[in-house]
Amino acid sequence: MDFALNDDHRMLLDTARAFLEKEIDLTKVLQNTKSTVADTGYRENWKKVTDLGWPGLIIPEDFGGSGLTALDLVMVAQEIGRVIAPIPFLGTLAGTWTLLKAGSPTQKAAYLPKIAGKGATMALAVCDANGNDEGPRSDTKAAKAGSSYRLNGSKSFVVDAATADTLVVAAEHEGRRGLFLVDPKADGVRIEILPWRDVTREVCHVTFSNAQAELLSEDDSTIWPWVRDRLLLLLAADSAGGLDKVLQMSVEHAKERVAFGKPIGAFQSIKHGLANTFARSEATKVAVMYAGWALAEDNEKGPISAAMAKSYATDGYRAATAQNIQVFGAIAITWQMKNHLYFKRARSNGELFGSSSSHRRRVLALAGRELSGNADSARLH
Amino acid sequence: MDFDLPAEDDPRRSGVRAWLKEHPNPTADELLDVGYEVPHWPPPWGLSADPEFQLIISQELQRAGVERFGNLLSATNLGPALLAHGTEEAKEKYLRRMLTGKDRWCQLQSEPSAGSDLAALRSTAVRDGDHYVINGQKIWSNAGSSDYGMMVVRTDPNASKHAGLSLIIVDMKSPGITARPIDIMSQAPKDLVVRMYETFFDNVRVPTSNLIGKEGEGWRLTQQVLQAERMMILQHMQKPTARDLVMGLVQTGRIDDPSLTDEAASLYIEGEVIRLMNLRAMSDQLNARRPGPEAAIIKMMGAPHDQHLNDFAKRLEGQAGLLPGGDAFEGKHTHLAVSWDAAFWDSPTLTLRAGSQELMLNVIAERIIGLPRERDPSAQGNWSENQRALRAEK
């Protein structure tokens, strides 16, 4: 047993932090209240991280990637969350994981090297208009047309669709939900970037009218849960990094801002609140590392630990961003301060791929099954 | 990174199992001599066992139904303080009897007017030849059932608040000591780990050789003892946990009750996260790393977590929960040393003992995240003069 980061993890983390702190600049967004994701440097930033090899982090070396694990990925994802880096990381990873799990050898060979080597981007369209990501649903239907398929319908809350070179789309086919590869530039595909409050993420609505598609998998019932667990980890890690950062901002401010003759951090109402958030931040990091480890090891605890990490991390992140605004005072509600970007990213992380309470429901069901099946281990461990 | 706990086939288990097979009902001396009473202690008392091996030994003892003889307080705080700072004679005289449970020990720290602000204590020890004469009052210990006490007293009233304190062993049978049991709100002392007493010291004579460490070192040593107590409290596993709650909900068929789901799941997740924090602390120790801030954090998170957990379980009983002897999941949790009911009525103490919640939050805010320290105007200068000045002000 060893919970500490090894040297490789440290290096990955330090490199990511140094790079992001130098390269990510949100000034342009903060200068204009009309800013959208287009002003955040989404594509330019992606070019930079492509040079670092990030698109291929989890792609096996055989396909030109670095072959890293979910746990390794946590190191980078936390740092991205710390500076809320606007890049199509989530979409590309979602597509990559789906390809890794569902793709034929030919499909993997066709897509993965382009992602790893050239920074080709992807997006995964699974949610319906209500934000529901479990299948099968009839919002998008696939029909066979010769050797390929045609898609009709729409998908909502598709992260990174507008930047994506390839879309993976979940669509109903013969009573099951299948997965399909779609070229976003093909006829019949319309992508609309949503006025998502969190401008550090590109979130889109995608409509298909007779759009041509290539079959990836006829049935996603074992694929989607596997991919979802990894997406939950990614959002949890992003939140852990953001939470740590807003706490740090709050603490620094509380040390400097003077009111009633002393730094506001000397008042217990402020310092106790921040001490609680510090504990939450430390605990969140451990929960995220554990989930990363469990998924990397294909441990049976993977699914439950990912759901725990997502709900625990995003809830803590949301609370910390609200506290952060309270500690900074009214100045923090102005557009030119960064505080609101974190506040919005935290909401965004909380709602994407299922709310905290929906994941808690799953956690309880899984825990109940595990504990009643193994009462002895519950007591001893 | 590796989050695995010692496996069922861990080779270190076989030795423990073999010994327990040969000694199904070990005597206190046998258990101490084989090193399983205090495995974390260095030889000859323990095995200098790392946390994993400690866990293995605890699990195997529990499985074999063998209980340790000494109490946790002795094994984790009082004993180590004696081991590290006691004289050779004292170690020889007390340790074996302490660890085999032949002598029972208590910790004499809090006073009626010195709780969170422990260093404000007023009990005095005045030198008289080769004895100290002790006067004062202590509270919140199991003095009434103890043979010895480890007491922090003011030996130098003219030193500053913290510098005038010393740590000393008191024979609880000494003339001049009166221990009165305190009736506590839970009304169920048999369910509690210790019964609480208030203790009065009236010209109690204690040999100066009973001093632990040097005169004036009392505060530093007491801090170490308290640190250990915080770790001890979080390692105390006889009480209901969030896992027990989920098991109880499964067994009573209430796991699917939508009005309970979200809160129960939140408790479960928080319980698991605190468990991971505990394991991280253990891992740091195991890999000889400087301990992180976990101990303070775990105590600070764990106390309100347990309160919430017990409150939730009590609510499951509805009106019947106000009647004595009831239980959220009656008869379902035989392994628990403390019932859900007793745990609930005892739970207000969780955010008070071994460092109040407010104190823990101050420790984290000031020592870990570096926020401004609270100033204690009574900490500077001559303690007695400060007290006189205070009284004059009133």
**Do both B241 and B211 map to the same domain?**
no
- CB distance A272–B362 less than 8 Å? yes
Q: What is the pLDDT of residue A136?
A: 74
Q: Do A275 and B369 touch (CB under 8 A)?
A: yes
Q: What is the mean pLDDT of residues B39-48?
A: 90
* Angstrom distance (rounded) from CA B122 to CA B200: 12
Confidence of residue B333 (pLDDT cuts 50, 70, 90): low
> In the beta sheet, which residues pair with residue A150?
A143, A212
pLDDT digits (tens, 9 = 90+) for B194-209: 578 999 999 999 999 9
| CB < 8 Å to B370, chain A | 251, 255
Q: What is the pLDDT of residue B310?
A: 94
Between CA B274 and CA B370 the distance in angstroms is 23
CA distance B186 to chain A (A): 26
Same domain? B261 vs B337: yes
To the nearest whole angstrom, how far is the Cα of B227 from the nearest Cα of chain A?
Answer: 18
Q: Is the ipTM of this complex over 0.90?
A: yes
A263 to chain B, any CB pair closer than 8 A? The answer is yes
Length of chain B: 394
CB-based contact B370 A71, cutoff 8 Å = no
Q: Are residues B350 and B241 in the same domain?
A: yes
Q: Which CATH number fits the domain that encloses residue B118? A: 2.40.110.10
- Tell me which residues of chain A, numbers 5 to 64, contact chain B at a CB-CB cutoff of 8 Å: 5-6, 9
How far, in whole angstroms, is CA A24 from its chain's centroid?
A: 18
Q: Are A67 and A231 in contact (CB under 8 A)?
A: no
Query: Do residues B345 and B243 share a domain?
Result: yes
Question: Collapsing DSSP states into helix, strand and coil, what is residue A143?
Answer: strand
B152: left (phi over 0), alpha (psi -120 to 50) or beta: beta
What number of other Cβ atoms are within 10 A of residue B232's Cβ? 15
From the list A1, A283, A312, the residue facing B283 with the nearest CB is A1
Q: Chain B within 8 Å of A251 (Cβ-Cβ)?
A: yes
- Higher pLDDT, residue B183 or A101: A101
Cα of B55 to nearest chain A Cα, Å? 9
Give B364's DSSP letter.
I
Contact list in A for residue B10 (CB cut-off 8 A) is: none
User: Which residues of chain B make contact with A272, given a CB cutoff of 8 A?
Assistant: 358, 361-362, 365
Residues of chain B with Cβ-Cβ distance to A279 below 8 Å are 297, 300-301, 364
Cβ-Cβ contacts under 8 Å, A286 against chain B: 273, 276-277, 280
Which position has the higher pLDDT, A116 or B80? A116
Which B-chain residues 155-184 have CB contacts (< 8 A) with chain A?
none
Tell me the chain B residues in contact with residue A365 when contact means C-beta distances shorter than 8 Å: 255
- Between B299 and B173, the higher pLDDT residue: B173
Residue B209 sits in the same domain as residue B267: no
pLDDT value of position B152: 97
Q: What is the C-alpha separation between B357 and B354, in angstroms, rounded?
A: 9
Phi, psi of A137 (to 5 degrees): -135, 155
**According to the model, what pLDDT value does residue B234 have?**
47
Asked if the C-beta of A252 comes within 8 angstroms of chain B's C-beta atoms, the answer is no
Note the pLDDT tens digit of each residue in B218-260. Answer: 999 988 877 766 665 445 456 788 999 999 999 888 998 999 9
> Which residues does chain A have within 8 Å of residue B249's beta carbon, measured at their own beta carbons?
368
Low-confidence ranges of chain A (pLDDT < 50): 376-381
Per DSSP, the residues of B21-55 read HH-SS--HHHHHHHT-SSTTSPTTTS----HHHHH
Say yes or no: B254 contacts chain A, CB-CB below 8 A.
no
Q: How far apart are CA A280 and CA A232, in angstroms?
A: 18
Domain count, chain B: 3
Distance, CA of B79 to CA of B98 (rounded, Å): 8
Quote the CA–CA distance of B190 and A230 in Å, as a whole number.
Answer: 49
**How many cross-chain Cβ pairs, A to B, lie less than 8 Å apart?**
161
Asked whether residue B83 is domain-assigned, the answer is: no
**Inside any domain, residue B86:** no
Mode of pairing for the β-strands spanning A262-263 and A258-259: antiparallel
pLDDT of residue B390: 86
Q: What is the mean pLDDT of residues B60-89?
A: 87
Mean per-residue pLDDT for B329-350? 78
Distance from CA of A27 to the nearest CA of B (A): 28
Cis peptide before B44 (omega within 30 of 0): yes
**Inside any domain, residue B79:** no
Residue pair A366/B264 in contact (Cβ under 8 Å)? The answer is no
Domains within chain A, CATH numbers bracketed: 7-121 (1.10.540.10), 123-217 (2.40.110.10), 223-376 (1.20.140.10)
Task: Return d(Cα B94, Cα B357) in angstroms, integer.
Answer: 34
Position A58: which residue type?
I
Q: Distances in Å between the alpha carbon of B369 and those of A245, A255, B117, B224?
A: 13, 10, 22, 21
Angle (CA) A58-A61-A65 rounded to 5° is 45
Helices then strands, each counted (H, E), chain A: 12, 9
Residue B149 placed within a domain: yes
Q: Long-range contacts of range B58-61, CB-CB < 8 Å, 24 or more positions apart?
A: B59/A380, B60/B13, B60/B16, B60/B17, B60/B20, B61/B16, B61/B20, B61/B36
Whether B92 is in a domain gets the answer: no
Q: Chain B closest CA to A313's CA: distance in Å? A: 11
Compute chain A's Rg from CA coordinates. 21
Q: How much is the pTM?
A: 0.92
Q: Are B50 and B285 in contact (CB under 8 A)?
A: yes
Q: Where are the beta strands (DSSP E) in A106-202?
A: 122-125, 140-145, 148-159, 166-173, 176-182, 189-193
Is A3 an interface residue toward B (CB < 8 Å)?
Answer: yes
Contacts of A367 in chain B (CB under 8 A): 243, 246, 265, 268
Do B123 and B188 fall within a single domain?
yes
Residues B256 and B291 in one domain: yes
| A309 contact B CB<8A | no
Task: Inform me whether the pLDDT recorded for B1 exceeds 80.
Answer: no
Query: pLDDT tens-digit profile of B261-317?
Result: 999 999 999 999 999 998 888 777 777 666 666 778 888 999 999 999 999 999 999
Q: Would B5 be classed as within a structural domain?
A: no
Cα A101 from Cα A216, distance rounded (Å) = 10
Residue A178 amino acid letter? G
Residues ≥6 apart with Cβ < 8 Å to B385: B158
Give the distance from CA B177 to its chain's centroid: 24
Instruction: Retrieve residue B62's tokens.
Output: 């529990």
Closest by Cβ to B280, choosing from A286, A372, A380: A286
The beta-carbon neighbor of A363 closest among B265, B274, B371 is: B265
Residues 6+ apart with CB under 8 A from B323: none
> Nearest chain B Cα to A287, which residue?
B273
Question: What is the Cα–Cα distance from A40 to B274, expressed in whole angstroms?
Answer: 38
> Does residue B198 share a domain with residue B300?
no
The rounded distance, in Å, linking the Cα atoms of B385 and B159 is 10
Task: Name residues whose C-beta falls within 8 Å of residue A14's C-beta, 6 or more positions apart in sequence.
Answer: none
Q: Does residue B170 lie in a domain region?
A: yes
Q: Is B244 touching A (CB cutoff 8 A)? A: yes
**Virtual torsion, Cα B268, B274, B279, B282, nearest 10 deg:** -150
Q: Give the Å distances, CA to CA, from A372 to A107, B28, B249, B329.
A: 42, 35, 10, 14
Which residues in chain B are closer than 8 Å to A284, comparing Cβ atoms?
A: 273
Report pLDDT for B238. 61
Whether residue B207 sits in one domain with residue B126: yes
pLDDT band for position B190 (50/70/90)?
low
Tokens of B55: 């866990």
- Residue B70's Cα: distance from chain center in Å? 13
Provide the shortest C-alpha distance from residue B325 to chain A (in Å).
Answer: 23
Q: Are residues B285 and B329 in the same domain?
A: yes
A290 Cβ under 8 Å from any chain B Cβ: yes
Measured distance CA(B298)–CA(B271) in Å, rounded: 11
Q: What is the mean pLDDT of residues B114-130?
A: 95
What residues make up the domain containing B142?
105-216
Residue A269 with chain B: CB contacts under 8 Å:
none
Q: Which of residues 280-309 of B touch A (CB under 8 A)?
A: 280, 282-284, 286-287, 289, 292-294, 297, 300-301
For residue B189, is pLDDT > 80?
no
Considering the domain architecture, whether residues B113 and B53 belong to the same structural domain is answered as: no
Minimum-distance CB partner of B335 among A255, A279, A379: A379
- B24 touches A at CB < 8 Å: no
User: Cβ of A308 and B272 within 8 Å?
Assistant: yes
The reply to whether B255 and B210 lie within a common domain is: no
Which residue from A minimizes the CA distance to B275? A381
pLDDT band of B331, cuts 50, 70, 90:
low
Instruction: State whether B279 and A276 contact (CB < 8 Å).
Output: no
Instruction: Measure the CA–CA gap between B343 and B313, rounded to whole angstroms.
Output: 10
Q: What is the largest CA-CA distance in chain B?
A: 71
The residue with tokens 């299922």 is A354
Q: Does residue B89 fall inside a structural domain?
A: no
Q: Tokens in use for B31?
A: 């258990």
Across the interface, whether the CB atoms of A361 and B265 are under 8 A apart is answered: yes
Residue B238, chain A, CB below 8 Å: the answer is no
CB contact under 8 A, A2 and B282: no
Tokens (6 digits) for A112: 């993965």
